[in-house]
Every structure is written in C-alpha cells, then in structure tokens.
C-alpha cells in the first residue's frame, strides 16, 4: 500500500507527459488525485505494515501529513481542472508589463503536479533519513517547473531563486544527515542504519557533539525549505508568481514536508536527552519568523505576497509550538492541519481574484464582496480564519499553544507571541478589508458567474477549517495526540 501511494502518482505523472490531448491530461490529474486519496484513506482505516525493510512506514506523524497532503491535492486538482480549461495556450499580454508570454504545455504542468504529489508522499512515509532527504530534494525538482508555468521573466526569476536557495538549503541538510551518520557510528567508525526508529532506540549511544551539529544543520537546511526566517527569501517570490493552485500546495503541503524532516531530526535529538538544546533553537527561530512576517505584512502592496509572508508567520508558530513542548506540541500538530486548510482556501480564492481583476496589487482591488459574490465572502472568511479569530480552527490551535507557553513558564515568549500576532493581524486586516469593502471599480473585468470548479474547492476548505474550530472528531484527536506523542508532547 505504501509503495502504491508513491508509485501511483509517479507513474501517472510520467503518463501525463506522453498524452497528446489536453482533456485526458486533466482527467488523469483528477482521477489520480482521487485514487491517491482512496489509498491514503485505506491506510488510515487499516494501517499498512512497513515496506522495504522499514525504510517506508506511515507512523502517526507521517500519516497526519500524508492525509493533509492528499486531501489538499484532491481539492487543488479539482480546482486545477477548471483552471487549466480556462487557460489559453496562445501568447497573451502580461497584465503587469504588457509583454507577450505563453504558458508551458499543459502536459508538463500536469506531469509535474503528479510527480510533485509522489515526492511529497515519499517524504511523509520515509523512515530513513537519507531517503527523506531524497524525497525533499525531489519536491524541489518537481515543483520548480510549476512555478514557471506562466513563462515570463518574473516567474523565471522566482524559479531560479527557488532552485538556488532551496538547493543550498538541501545541501546543508545533506551535511546534517552526514553528521547524523557520524553521530551514529561506533568507536570503530562503523556506521549504523539511519532509520528513525533505530536512531531513537539507540539514541543514548549517539555522539552528542555530532548530534547537536547535525540538528543545527538540519534546522538550517530544512528550515530554508520550510520558510523559517531568516532563510525564507525564496518563498514570497515563488508563492506570488506560481499559479494559485500551486501556491496552495506549496504553502499547505510542501512546507509541511520540510517541517516533517525537521521533526524527524527532533525525535532523535529529544530521545538522546538533548531536547532542551533543540527546543531553545526552535523557539528562537519561531519568534524570528513571527517578527519578520509581521514586519513585511505591514504595508504589503501585493496580496499574494501577503499570503506568502503569512506562511512564514505560521511556520514560525509551528516551530514555536514544538519548541515549547508539552500541550503546545499537540497545538502545533493541530495548527499544521488548520494552516494547510486555510492557506489552501486563501490561495485558491486569490487565484479567482487575480482572474477577475488581473492584478495582484492591493490598490487594484476594491469591492470584492460585491464583484465576486462567492469568492469575496470566502476571502473574508479566510482572513478571519488565518488571523486566528473564533470560531475557526486556528483560534483553537493558537490558544492551545499560548496556554502551554504560560504553563511551561515562558511569560516573555507569550508576550512576544501575542504582540507579533497582533501586528500581523493589523497588517492583514488593513489589506484584506480594503480589498473586500467599498464599491468595485467602474469597469470590473469579470462579467459572468464564477465557475463552480473555482469556488467549490475553497468553499469546502472554509467549511473544514470552521469545523475544526467547532468540533474535533475523536479520530482526528487521536491522530494528533499520537503524532504529538512521538515528539514527547500531548495534552
């Protein structure tokens, strides 16, 4: 089953490159997403045994992030069917500079989307630190062409920046993996398998200096891919220049994959009795990310870049939650779910706004609630959810983290957390409300009803993030508790 979860989208991706007609390519994208979701659901109902000598195993952490990835990809694929159908293949003027550009062939886009899903799935089920590294690197290679879907110079620049910075980060992470292997080698220099379970079981015998150095390098390496400040500079450009469904997947699923890589390293370090060292670093980088995001959200003139900096903020909250430990770890797992749902909602709606207004400038958008009767309210709902307003799920997860910060005896961290959340709230409120309220411009571009496939997926995400704030199903609570338990936390 685990092998199928990786191979099905991989083979479908290769098939997409060979399909000559566009309509079958779109059907292949959607059907593969459905098949992947069915396989993941079957794994949740009936857990699969480890495969490939334990290199592949969906433990509670992996299964949580695999579920998020599969569900979000399914909704993004549904949105993508309508999106790709509306995209014209002939050259057209760029809405910013008026220069003609054309999209890359649809078969490349669909093929890379499916390979992207395969790579993310591999990350979630990898138990070997080397294979995990390979999976995270594969996500970079598969997603880079997606950023360059609109073949103009801004998307090309964003793609190169993404490739360059993430490659540097992944190189640092490789060095961290090698250091971890050094920590696991015995006095005769003989190495040990880099399986997470084996490393945790034998953590007491790991060399502490090599282990601490490995964690710092993995934090920097995977933190770059995760978008932790100050290693986040690829993220605003990539998220703002990508098609919105790609931005939704990058923010809601890809960042989680890098976060999972960091959590695997944390599992080993904590088991070795060096958890305090790792937690201090996570708290520091969490607060730095919150501060950087708050500064750049204030006065932001591009609404897609605003969402990108919001991702930096929420990656900081995840790091902070794990760093604080205790019940905050449970809060961080819940926050990962809520952030993925909400950011998927916001980026998909941002795509609808871009289609209607043909600008990503905040100044160019007015009267959303009137001009887009479905996307306008969804944009407002998404804003209320992402800033942690009740009754949405992010309010609950942020409240759990804040409560745990006080319980763990970090009043200054709690004060900084609250202050930075307040600054981000003010910055986002200024932008989002300016776009939503007022009268639309005299000649709004959109003249027709919003297509069902462009509003149904974000509407489903809005309902989901509302439900996680009102009621946590026992199955989800158990999954979150089990994931937090692997990190030494829980409620």
pTM: 0.93
Residues of 62-78 as b/e, b for ≥16 C-beta within 10 angstroms? bbbbbbbbbbbbbbbbb
Q: Output the average pLDDT for the chain.
A: 90
Both structure tokens of 439: 């009268």
Instruction: Give the pLDDT confidence score for residue 446 in this predicted structure.
Output: 54
Contacts (Cβ under 8 Å, ≥6 apart) of 104 = 145, 148, 149, 151
Instruction: Give the pLDDT confidence score for residue 444 in this predicted structure.
Output: 54
C-alpha distances in Å from residue 104, one per residue of 89, 109, 151, 271, 316: 8, 7, 7, 47, 34
Whether the per-residue pLDDT at 187 is higher than 80: the answer is no
Q: What percent of the chain has pLDDT over 70?
A: 96
Whether the per-residue pLDDT at 314 is higher than 60: the answer is yes
Q: List, for residues 436-479, the tens digit of each pLDDT value.
A: 887 776 555 555 578 899 999 999 999 999 999 899 899 999 99
Instruction: Give the pLDDT confidence score for residue 324 in this predicted structure.
Output: 93
Whether the per-residue pLDDT at 315 is higher than 80: the answer is yes
Q: List, for residues 252-270, the tens digit of each pLDDT value.
A: 999 999 999 999 999 999 9
**Position 97 confidence tier, pLDDT thresholds 50, 70, 90:** confident
Q: List, for residues 335-366, the tens digit of each pLDDT value.
A: 999 999 999 999 999 999 998 888 888 888 88
Its sign, for the CA torsion 240, 245, 248, 249, is negative
Q: List, for residues 395-449, the tens digit of each pLDDT value.
A: 999 999 999 999 988 999 999 999 999 999 999 999 999 898 877 765 555 555 7
Q: Give the angle subtended at the CA of 333 by the CAs of 163 and 429, to the nearest 5°.
A: 75
Whether the per-residue pLDDT at 95 is higher than 80: the answer is no
Mean pLDDT over 116-128 rounds to: 95
Contacts (Cβ under 8 Å, ≥6 apart) of 352 = 244, 372, 375, 450, 454, 455, 458
Q: Collapsing DSSP states into helix, strand and coil, what is residue 195?
A: strand
Number of neighbouring beta carbons within 10 Å of residue 30: 15
């Amino acid at each position: 089953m685990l092998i199928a979860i990786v191979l099905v989208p991989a083979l479908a991706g290769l098939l997409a490159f060979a399909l000559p007609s566009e309509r079958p390519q779109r059907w292949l994208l959607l059907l593969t997403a459905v098949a992947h979701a069915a396989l993941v659901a079957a794994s949740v109902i009936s857990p699969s045994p480890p495969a490939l000598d334990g290199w592949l195993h969906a433990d509670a952490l992996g299964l949580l992030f695999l579920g998020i990835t599969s569900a979000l990809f399914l909704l993004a694929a549904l949105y993508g069917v309508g999106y790709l159908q509306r995209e014209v293949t002939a050259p057209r003027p760029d809405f910013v500079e008026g220069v003609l550009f054309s999209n890359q062939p649809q078969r490349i886009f669909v093929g890379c989307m499916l390979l992207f899903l395969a790579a993310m799935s591999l990350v979630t089920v990898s138990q070997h630190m080397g294979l995990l590294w390979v999976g995270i690197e594969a996500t970079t290679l598969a997603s880079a062409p997606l950023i360059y879907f609109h073949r103009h110079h801004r998307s090309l620049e964003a793609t190169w920046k993404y490739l360059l910075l993430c490659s540097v980060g992944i190189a640092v992470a490789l060095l961290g993996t090698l250091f971890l292997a050094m920590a696991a080698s015995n006095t005769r220099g003989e190495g040990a398998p880099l399986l997470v379970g084996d490393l945790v079981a034998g953590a007491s015998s790991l060399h502490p200096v090599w282990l601490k150095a490995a964690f710092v390098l993995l934090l920097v390496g995977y933190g770059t891919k995760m978008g932790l400040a100050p290693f986040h500079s690829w993220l605003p450009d990539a998220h703002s220049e990508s098609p919105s469904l790609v931005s939704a997947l990058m923010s809601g699923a890809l960042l989680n994959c890098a976060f999972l890589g960091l959590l695997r390293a944390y599992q080993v370090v904590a088991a070795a009795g060096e958890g305090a060292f790792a937690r201090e670093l996570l708290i520091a980088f969490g607060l730095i990310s919150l501060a950087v995001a708050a500064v750049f959200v204030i006065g932001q003139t591009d609404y897609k870049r605003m969402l990108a900096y919001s991702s930096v903020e929420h990656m900081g909250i995840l790091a902070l939650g794990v760093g604080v430990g205790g019940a905050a770890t449970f809060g961080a797992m819940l926050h990962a779910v809520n952030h993925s749902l909400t950011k998927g909602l916001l980026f998909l709606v941002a795509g609808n706004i871009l289609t209607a207004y043909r600008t990503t400038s905040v100044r160019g958008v007015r009267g959303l609630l009137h001009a887009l009767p479905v996307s306008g309210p969804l944009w407002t709902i998404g804003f209320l959810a992402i800033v942690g307003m009740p009754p949405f799920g992010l309010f609950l997860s942020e409240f759990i983290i804040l409560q745990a910060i006080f319980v763990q005896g970090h009043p200054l961290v709690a004060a900084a957390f609250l202050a930075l959340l307040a600054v981000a709230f003010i910055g986002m409120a200024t932008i989002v409300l300016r776009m939503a309220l007022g009268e639309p411009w005299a000649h709004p571009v959109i003249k027709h009803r919003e297509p069902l496939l462009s509003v149904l997926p974000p509407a489903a995400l809005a309902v989901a993030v509302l439900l996680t704030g009102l009621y946590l199903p026992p199955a989800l609570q158990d999954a979150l508790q089990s994931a937090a338990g692997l990190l030494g936390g829980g409620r």
